[in-house]
């Protein structure tokens, strides 16, 4: 009887199937963990750079929301504001306010009014806007004429920088914007409680100025508001109408494919190209006023349309086909199915795309520079056809100024613009989640 038992094969140096599977799973799990680690590192780096960006902007700009004010005792002699011993509005408007400011600040610090050099140094403590501030005070309070009033006026930009620690006292006098005598006067005003930092309302209520201490972004905000109104009135209906036609009614052929490709390409065109187009078409050809909100709004409308069209088409495409089929099945026409059923369900996506497009347009600078909105405009626009500027352009202009006080105003304007953009994006997210339908 023969032994049929076969000798077992040697297993030394070879892995069993179970061991190979375990090794493969271990390798795949390790690769997955490495990929997750790479993702975490990438997100962390992004958050770090974002934090550094915000820190850089906020650390430079938060001081602009405070402004140094001098509580100046001002003598308002009746003879200065009257004609034939009668106070008139004309006399108030034509009074010599520069003289009133000069005498008030010289008397307050105890300087010698007959010494022109000393008077000049004293006047360098007060902003040139002080004359307008006193004029406005007298116009609003004519009963104060003939008395001495404590009127808060702006300090000069260098004094403001000193109070905020941006100008060092321990620097040699020859390298310092304020000399030792001026520092003595500043300390005297501080001890008397006449010089202090207060909340800066000028940055929210005034327009641009050659004097940093009296500059604001109110005119730029008004110009941006007019432009966003033009963009909203034009881009939303045109973009939604084009999206509905391309998605719901247009035949699928080479022409519609070409249109879709061009819309996607237009969304990636550099913004300055739209500025060149607006300069050629709206200003040179159509003859619209240069540096006006209407031209800026038209240019930004062209730039925003691709974003709105792409977002709206995606929202329409996300509505299930069963909605259309159900509407058509109960006798609705194609128009009724789209406008009564599909479009309302796609509205959250349409609103989201519109708000994101507006936020993108709000932060654009290059196309506005091409159409002349870089001009110095300090009057509030009264209509879209009035000369105007925009917040990004105002930031660009302030960034080119060499004075230290404009640096903090540049960062402060960026902070305000970022707040607007964050609020708009937060509104888009809220609307999306609030009205989004799930199937």
Count of Cβ atoms closer than 10 Å to residue 335 Cβ: 11
What local confidence, expressed as pLDDT, does residue 14 receive?
58
- Asked which of 200, 229, 252 is the last residue of a domain, the reply is 200
Mean pLDDT calculated for residue range 237-259: 89
Which tops the pLDDT comparison, 38 or 176?
Answer: 38
What's this model's pTM, rounded to 2 decimal places?
Answer: 0.82
Taking only Cα atoms into account, the Rg of the chain, rounded to an integer number of angstroms, comes to 33
pLDDT at 2 over 60: no
DSSP state of 6: P
Note whether 257 and 315 are same-domain residues.
yes
Note whether 299 and 413 are same-domain residues.
yes
Domain harbouring 358, CATH code: 1.10.3720.10
- Asked which of 157, 172, 200 is the last residue of a domain, the reply is 200
Note whether 222 and 345 are same-domain residues.
yes
SS3 12: coil
**Using 50, 70 and 90 to split pLDDT, how confident is the model at 227?**
very high
SS3 410: helix
Beta bridge pairs of residue 75: 148
Residue 5 lies in a domain: no
- Tokens (6 digits) for 209: 């100025």
For residues 205 and 221, give the distance between their C-alpha atoms in angstroms, rounded to a whole number. Answer: 10
What local confidence, expressed as pLDDT, does residue 372 receive?
81
DSSP annotation string for 355-368 = HHHHHHHHT--HHH
- Asked which of 165, 200, 235 is the last residue of a domain, the reply is 200
Q: Which residues, at least 6 apart from 389, have a Cβ–Cβ distance to it below 8 Å? A: 208, 219, 220, 223, 291, 373, 374, 375, 377, 397
**Using 50, 70 and 90 to split pLDDT, how confident is the model at 244?**
very high
- Tokens (6 digits) for 124: 């360098």
Count of Cβ atoms closer than 10 Å to residue 317 Cβ: 13
Note whether 70 and 163 are same-domain residues.
yes
Note whether 182 and 229 are same-domain residues.
no
What local confidence, expressed as pLDDT, does residue 27 receive?
83
Note whether 301 and 422 are same-domain residues.
yes
pLDDT at 8 over 80: no
How would you classify residue 420: left for phi > 0, otherwise alpha for psi between -120 and 50, otherwise beta? Answer: alpha
Mean pLDDT calculated for residue range 145-160: 90
Residue 418 lies in a domain: yes
What local confidence, expressed as pLDDT, does residue 347 receive?
87
**Using 50, 70 and 90 to split pLDDT, how confident is the model at 199?**
very high
Q: Give per-residue pLDDT as tens, 325-367.
A: 888 888 888 888 888 888 888 888 888 888 888 888 888 888 8
Note whether 231 and 186 are same-domain residues.
no
For residues 406 and 391, give the distance between their C-alpha atoms in angstroms, rounded to a whole number. Answer: 15
Residue 85 belongs to what domain range?
62-200
**Using 50, 70 and 90 to split pLDDT, how confident is the model at 371?**
confident
For residues 4 and 242, give the distance between their C-alpha atoms in angstroms, rounded to a whole number. Answer: 83
Note whether 264 and 374 are same-domain residues.
yes
Q: Give per-residue pLDDT as tens, 90-121.
A: 888 888 899 999 999 999 988 887 888 888 99
Mean pLDDT calculated for residue range 138-150: 89
What local confidence, expressed as pLDDT, does residue 190 receive?
92
Secondary structure of the chain: what % helix, strand, coil (to 5)?
Answer: 65, 5, 25
Percentage of residues in the chain with pLDDT exceeding 90?
31
**Using 50, 70 and 90 to split pLDDT, how confident is the model at 1?**
very low
For residues 51 and 61, give the distance between their C-alpha atoms in angstroms, rounded to a whole number. Answer: 15
Residue 31 lies in a domain: no
Note whether 272 and 414 are same-domain residues.
yes
Q: Give per-residue pLDDT as tens, 287-335.
A: 888 888 999 999 999 999 999 999 999 999 988 888 888 888 888 888 8
Measure Cα distances from 381 to 131, 176, 364, 418 in Å: 25, 40, 19, 23
Domain count, the chain: 2
Distant-in-sequence contacts of 85-90, Cβ < 8 A, 24+ apart = 87/142, 87/145, 89/139
For residues 153 and 148, give the distance between their C-alpha atoms in angstroms, rounded to a whole number. Answer: 15
What local confidence, expressed as pLDDT, does residue 377 receive?
82
H-type helices in 267-342, by residue range? 271-278, 293-318, 321-329, 334-336
Place of tokens 């404009």: 406
Note whether 390 and 420 are same-domain residues.
yes
Beta bridge pairs of residue 22: none
Note whether 166 and 99 are same-domain residues.
yes
Beta bridge pairs of residue 150: 73
Residue 382 lies in a domain: yes
Nearest Cα neighbor of 347 from 248, 424, 232, 435 is 435
What local confidence, expressed as pLDDT, does residue 318 receive?
87
What local confidence, expressed as pLDDT, does residue 294 receive?
92
Q: Cα torsion for 184, 187, 192, 198, to the nearest 10°? A: 140
For residues 61 and 64, give the distance between their C-alpha atoms in angstroms, rounded to a whole number. Answer: 6
Note whether 363 and 274 are same-domain residues.
yes
Strand intervals (E) in 223-271: none
For residues 194 and 343, give the distance between their C-alpha atoms in angstroms, rounded to a whole number. Answer: 63
């Amino acid at each position: 009887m023969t032994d049929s038992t076969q000798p077992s094969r040697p297993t030394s140096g070879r892995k069993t199937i179970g061991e190979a599977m375990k090794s493969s799973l271990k390798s795949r799990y390790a690769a997955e963990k490495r990929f997750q680690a790479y993702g975490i590192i990438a997100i962390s780096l992004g958050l770090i750079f974002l934090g550094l960006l915000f820190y850089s902007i906020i650390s430079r700009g938060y001081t602009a929301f405070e402004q140094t004010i001098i509580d100046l005792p001002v003598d308002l002699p009746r003879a200065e504001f009257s004609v034939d011993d009668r106070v008139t509005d004309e006399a108030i408007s034509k009074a010599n306010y520069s003289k009133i400011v000069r005498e008030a600040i010289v008397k307050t610090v105890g300087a010698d009014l007959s010494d022109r050099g000393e008077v000049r140094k004293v006047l360098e403590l007060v902003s040139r806007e002080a004359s307008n501030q006193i004029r406005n005070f007298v116009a609003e309070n004519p009963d104060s004429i003939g008395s001495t009033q404590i009127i808060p006026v702006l300090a000069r930009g260098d004094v403001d920088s000193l109070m905020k620690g941006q100008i060092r006292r321990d620097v040699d006098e020859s390298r310092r914007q304020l000399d030792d005598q001026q520092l003595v006067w500043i300390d005297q005003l501080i001890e008397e409680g006449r010089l202090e930092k207060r909340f800066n309302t000028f940055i929210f209520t005034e327009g641009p100025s050659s004097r940093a201490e009296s500059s604001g972004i109110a005119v730029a905000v008004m110009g941006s508001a007019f432009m966003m109104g033009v963009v909203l009135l034009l881009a939303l209906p045109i973009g939604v109408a084009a999206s509905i036609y391309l998605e719901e009614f247009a035949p699928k052929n080479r022409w519609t494919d070409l249109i879709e490709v061009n819309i996607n390409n237009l969304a990636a065109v550099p913004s300055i190209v739209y500025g060149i187009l607006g300069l050629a078409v709206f200003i040179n050809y159509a003859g619209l006023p240069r540096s006006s909100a209407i031209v800026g709004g038209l240019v930004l409308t062209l730039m925003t349309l691709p974003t709105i069209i792409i977002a709206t088409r995606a929202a329409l495409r996300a509505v299930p086909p069963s909605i259309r089929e159900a509407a058509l099945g109960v006798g609705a026409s194609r128009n009724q199915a789209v406008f009564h059923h599909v479009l309302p369900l796609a509205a959250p996506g349409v609103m989201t795309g519109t708000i994101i497009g507006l936020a993108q347009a709000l932060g654009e600078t290059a196309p506005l520079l091409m159409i002349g909105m870089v001009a110095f405009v300090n009057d509030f626009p009264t209509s879209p056809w009035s000369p105007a500027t925009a917040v990004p352009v105002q930031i660009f202009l302030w960034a080119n100024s060499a004075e230290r006080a404009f640096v903090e105003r540049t960062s402060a304007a960026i902070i305000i613009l970022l707040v607007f953009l964050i609020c708009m994006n937060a509104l888009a997210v809220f609307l999306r989640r609030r009205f989004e339908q799930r199937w």
